A and B are shown apart, each in its own frame.
Chain A
Amino acid sequence: MNTVEFQNVGAQYGDKAVLSGIELEIPANSIYALIGPSGCGKTTLLRSVNRLNDLIRGFILTGSIMVDGKSVYSLKDKESVRILRRGIGMIFQKPNPLPTSIMKNMTIPYLEHVRSSAKEARELALERLKLVGLYNEIKDRLDAPAIRLSGGQQQRLCIARSLMLPSNLLLMDEPCSALDPISTYKIEEILFELKKERTIIMVTHNIEQARRVSDYTAFFYNGVLVESGATHNMFAHPQHDYTQKYVSGRMIESVLQEVHIS
């Protein structure tokens, strides 16, 4: 299934509201792009899916987020939350390999949760590295420090790493914003491959990227969902004036300030 459903989701940090009334359904095996200007709340929404925002003091979420029909925020004990997180891969804006070797980056999360031998873990790691097309580039230096890889390689390593656990849902927070066009292209290629078996929610600032890779797009604006739907439809016929301006790249900051959550 791999579906995610946001039902009347609101979120606040302390008494500062960042999201309200979000209703959104993410279909299985699709790439869903969340777009919108900085501070519109799309990242908060993304990080709520695996409850990573719990780490931030004062974070409150209202409404409910359903993953495969189960309410994420109804999970009471910590272990359930951890099980949830294991099933959801997360790619951060900045590549985040741990300060250790490439191979250990791959095996640490796997061996953390799966009873398995180091050999099995290694084999799976090699398979995942091949999947993201990194294997041929780094097969000679699997034990070299991961931070010596280029930014694009690091990000692909992180994607491969997130695939070590059986996760059918991937959360990506601007995965290509720190990368050059060629690296970005390679990652987009991977996304198409991954989509076959997984659902991907991707926050991006790159409108062109959203147009290229996503099946669906949701446009957020100051904490509210302005418009969502099939990407080609939305880019061709935006329903809302702001959407139209944003996707055409004509929305400037001064205009943004005038809009308020209604």
Chain B
Amino acid sequence: MKRKLISLLLAVMMATAMFPALSASAADPLSISIEIDGKIVTPTVAPILTEGGTTLVQGRFFTEYLGADVSWNQPNQEMTIKTAGYTVVFKMASRAYTVNGVAYQIPAAYDPPVNTGSAMVPMRFLFESIGSAVSYDTATKTAKVSYFTGLTGSIKVSGSTTVLPIMQSAADKLMGQNGGLSVTVAGGGSGAGIKDTQSGANNVGMSSRDLTADEMAEITPVKMANDAIAIIVNPKNPVTSLTTEQAAKIFLGEITNWTEVGGNDATIKVQTRETGSGTLATLEEMLLDRKTVVEKSIPFTSSALIKQAVANDEDAIGFDSIGFVDSTVRAVSLNGIDASDATVKNATYPLSRSLYVMTKGTAAGINARLIDYLRSAIVQQEIVQKEGYITL
């Protein structure tokens, strides 16, 4: 996909170089600001004003900013935007577009979308197609879009305790900017979350495991973050890699000396987290087959403390959310695979998994908006990353 994009870009660059007049006549850079939920958002490609007076904006940038999945069909010159509630397809140089499969037409007074190397879509129809509205302030030359503001109603959320911290922070933030919105977040675990979604006991469910085909029949899951646990050792420890089996045996207390896994002759000191920690629960679920960590391990109350303990003790082994690992400790590779953003995102790292939110059927209204919010740049950068998870 990336390669396609690059070649497209190159083609366009060559085209514009060869026909400078064409590009100029097709569009002029425009000095307007686009304000989303009270914040000026600057795209990587500036908006343009066509000769016909239509404002075109960078379709991918803005919808991804709002949490959408955007895909590009090169042969058909079609851009597909998927938010939680809407699937919208714009075709370049065509006034016809579809929203959730229903065909719509851009009125003749407006120019159609155009591919300038980036798909530029008429601003009004881009935002309206995903359920938003645009107002234009001529005095400040600012287009105002309201997407995560002005929401009212109440949403019940339940499910995975791993997702819960992100959800709670995001819900708090969202409620902070929407006085009429109430989001109640409860735990209960992924299973309960899925059941609640099926029965309608919640509006949005949370799951830290992939859904089965049966479950998918009724429920639409949307991936909202990646989670991975790093097995950490002291940087001075010569052991740099373990198999998942070795790691599990260490944490279960079946392997007790570092020599058994190719290290120094020293007792392995297992460090763990206090009961109730989401990270511990994830480790026990993914690595230990729901058994508990060896009893004599020393429990810590926070991510920072277990890391500090490993950093201070050459014989220690611990675990932490991958986002929290820094140079004071070393994450060992598992089954030969390093723990990294890339191996987590492509799910090759053994202790990685996707986190989902889900609704019964396709999400709509404020539920869809909440899901979009979780996937938006705001939550991904300000919450997902900070809580130690891996962004989408």
A and B touch in the complex (CB under 8 A): no
Interface residues of B (CB under 8 A from A): none
Interface residues of A (CB under 8 A from B): none
